[in-house]
Structure 1
Amino acid sequence: MQTFTAVNLNTNGDSPGGANTAEVAAATTAFLATLDATTLAKVQFDFSENQKRQTWSNFPTTTVAREGVALAALTTAQQQAAMAMLKVALSDTGYQQVLNIQKSDDYLNSLGGQGADGFGALKDYYVAVYGAPSATDPFMVQFGGHHLARNLTYNGDKVSQTPQFVGSEPTSFTVDGATVAPVKDESTGMFAMVAALTAEQKTAAKLTSGTYDDLLMGPTHDDGTFPAAEGLAVSGLGAAQKKAVLTAITAYVGDLNGAAAQKSLAKYESELDSTKISWANNTGPSDESSYIRIDGPSVWIEFINTRSMSTPDIHYHSVYRDKTNDYGSTKPS
């Protein structure tokens, strides 16, 4: 069962803007227009429904029930309209990642075994809308399921794409002769960032606060309280090492459509010298429990190799949050 913290999510986030809000609002309106009254009541909620907006997880929907409606409960035309809404909101890379994570669920389903009948690209992914789609007033598009959470909040030209969760079990697999690796950009960026450190820097970056078997600020952690920053200051890194940090951040921020992603990235880059990077447990790309963190004034990213339940090797969990803009709020606590 999920637990919730009472939060005020309606306080206008610290977004640098650039959102294609009118296009997203139009696509969202088009999706809602495909629904009958009964289904619409299951999909659309008031923007002030804070607890519902907090309902996301990395677990399958059979374990943590999502708000909204499963894609499997929609007609083909309605499914297409829902995905078209996401396609407008996300970059090509971000949208393809959604499709690839869904493919990983189909792959797990094909393996059989523990809980496999609950996996699938249609039945394990849900869509919900909060508020009325508008170019000026706040609304939110929520899409997610097993190893995926897209929480997209719009308010005029402001947008928040956090909290964002991406993961993949297994880390890669083959479909129709092609290799699919849903979290390749994020994993490559995070491990390359640590690999670029000297031995001395790597020692300084190691977390002293403990070890981790999963993400610290994953689902249900919405009280706005982040741990004290620790690790290695990016300000002391060389130019190539700083670029590696920015590349790692870009893999997450770049999931958002166009100008908004570039403006958010510029915000994080301006805060880079006040950012720290750290690791715990291990740092190998295939080692169990390898844990890596980026912690800035605004940006928070965690990545971990965690034990798999349905496959023999590790799989990926990762979360991206903005301390000043989660759910489009400046004060999530």
Structure 2
Amino acid sequence: MTVDDTLADSMTAVAAELISLVGPPLPLPFDDDGRRWIEYRPHTRPGVSLAALEVPARKAAFRLLATGLSPHAYAQALSIVSLEEVLDRSEGYVRGRHLNDYWVSVFGTPGSADPWTWRFEGHHLSVSMTVAGSEVSPSPVFFGANPARVSYGPHIVSRPLAPEEDVAFALLAALSPTERSLAVFADVPPADILSGTSPVASPLSPGGVSATSLNPAAGALLASLVGVYLDRLPSALADDLSPSLEDLRFAWAGPERPGSPHYYRLQATDLLIEYDNTANGNHAHSVLRRPAADFGSDLLAAHRRAYH
């Protein structure tokens, strides 16, 4: 959790404005079963859809999303949203996908003495933030993309998750043969990120190569790859989540060449980062989770100790 009065105040003000513009069903009860929820497939969600909002409320929903992301990650998120129309066209418009099929929800009362949560979510995007006073707990954060890459001849037109993939391949290439043998745990990647849509991100089998055993070039790239995910968040949040290198491991599955289906993860005591680009090698999922703190579990525990 991060103490940042300005950030928490911004989230509170925008969420309160959104509630005033939307009215019921917002806000939802804080103890609603839908609060501890991560879903990156195209389904109906708790809260209210962008399609149901007038322009001022829709703008407030996007402003709320922006409070929880760094500027470049906000651009990534909007690119992911716009890909719904691209995907719908590629499928022949048979599934009725639409960039307004994203949902915003607020659980609890912004500005009250009790914790509250906001979430912006839809196909391939899920951002959850829990606020208690001046403290913000920022996970899970899921970014996906289908198609992950849109090209025009040799030119890349759209590739929202380029850093997540490029830095990982650079890291893999920088490993020594011994380091690579420890990092690669399977020739075939799993079909999806292993934490999936579970509200509990259970620690995965450690596996992989330890950050402390890497050569200097690979170690620097590993730190950069962690930064790619933490820097999705505003700096006040990202700086507070950096893991100890002594506790960090990198694991890979699948071929070691770009364009092939592959998977990797970074794991520390309270940090789980997963990425997969499977199916046809052009459909990516990535997530930042904190197993002991997702959905504000850390804030809730501190709140109970202080007030109950």
After TM superposition, the score normalised by the length of structure 2 is 0.88
Q: Which stretch of structure 1 is more off in the superposition, 186-195 or 125-134?
A: 186-195
CA offset digits 1:93-126 (Å, max 9, x no partner)? 1211111001111111222437531x2211x211
Q: Which amino acid aligns with 1:314?
A: N
| 1:30 is aligned to 2:17 | yes
Matched residue SS, 1:263:
coil
CA offset digits 1:155-194 (Å, max 9, x no partner)? 233322212211101112369x982222122222222222
- Structure 2 match to 1:142: 119
| C-alpha displacement of 1:236 | 1.0
Change (3 A) 1:158 1:239: farther
Gaps of 5+ in 1: 1-14
Change (3 A) 1:171 1:223: closer
Choose the corresponding residue for 2:260, options 281, 284, 287.
287
| C-alpha displacement of 1:85 | 1.5
Counterpart Cα distance in 2 of 1:83 and 1:323: 27
- Structure 2 match to 1:327: 295
Q: Which amino acid aligns with 1:164?
A: V
- Structure 1 match to 2:41: 59
Q: Which amino acid aligns with 1:46?
A: P
- Does structure 2 retain, via aligned residues, the 8 Å contact 1:215–1:304? yes
Change (3 A) 1:135 1:183: farther
| 1:305 is aligned to 2:293 | no
Counterpart Cα distance in 2 of 1:195 and 1:91: 28
| C-alpha displacement of 1:206 | 1.9
Bigger relative CO (Cα 8 Å, ≥ 6 apart): 1
- Structure 2 match to 1:93: 72
CA offset digits 1:33-85 (Å, max 9, x no partner)? 112xxxx3223211122x20133312112xxx211111011111111111112
- Does structure 2 retain, via aligned residues, the 8 Å contact 1:163–1:327? yes
Q: Which stretch of structure 1 is more off in the superposition, 89-98 or 107-116?
A: 107-116
Q: Which amino acid aligns with 1:47?
A: F
Q: Which stretch of structure 1 is more off in the superposition, 203-212 or 21-30?
A: 203-212
| 1:76 is aligned to 2:58 | no
| C-alpha displacement of 1:148 | 0.8
- Does structure 1 retain, via aligned residues, the 8 Å contact 2:130–2:295? yes
RMSD of the alignment, in Å?
A: 2.5
| C-alpha displacement of 1:16 | 4.2
Counterpart Cα distance in 1 of 2:72 and 2:156: 17
| C-alpha displacement of 1:208 | 6.2
- Structure 2 match to 1:262: 239
- Does structure 1 retain, via aligned residues, the 8 Å contact 2:2–2:137? no
Matched residue SS, 1:59:
coil
Q: Which amino acid aligns with 1:321?
A: R
Q: Which amino acid aligns with 2:240?
A: K
Counterpart Cα distance in 2 of 1:189 and 1:75: 40
Counterpart Cα distance in 2 of 1:174 and 1:141: 35
For 1:175-254, what aligned pairs fall within 5 Å after superposition? 179-207=157-185, 211-220=189-198, 222-254=199-231
- Does structure 2 retain, via aligned residues, the 8 Å contact 1:277–1:294? yes
Counterpart Cα distance in 2 of 1:224 and 1:101: 23
- Does structure 1 retain, via aligned residues, the 8 Å contact 2:41–2:123? yes
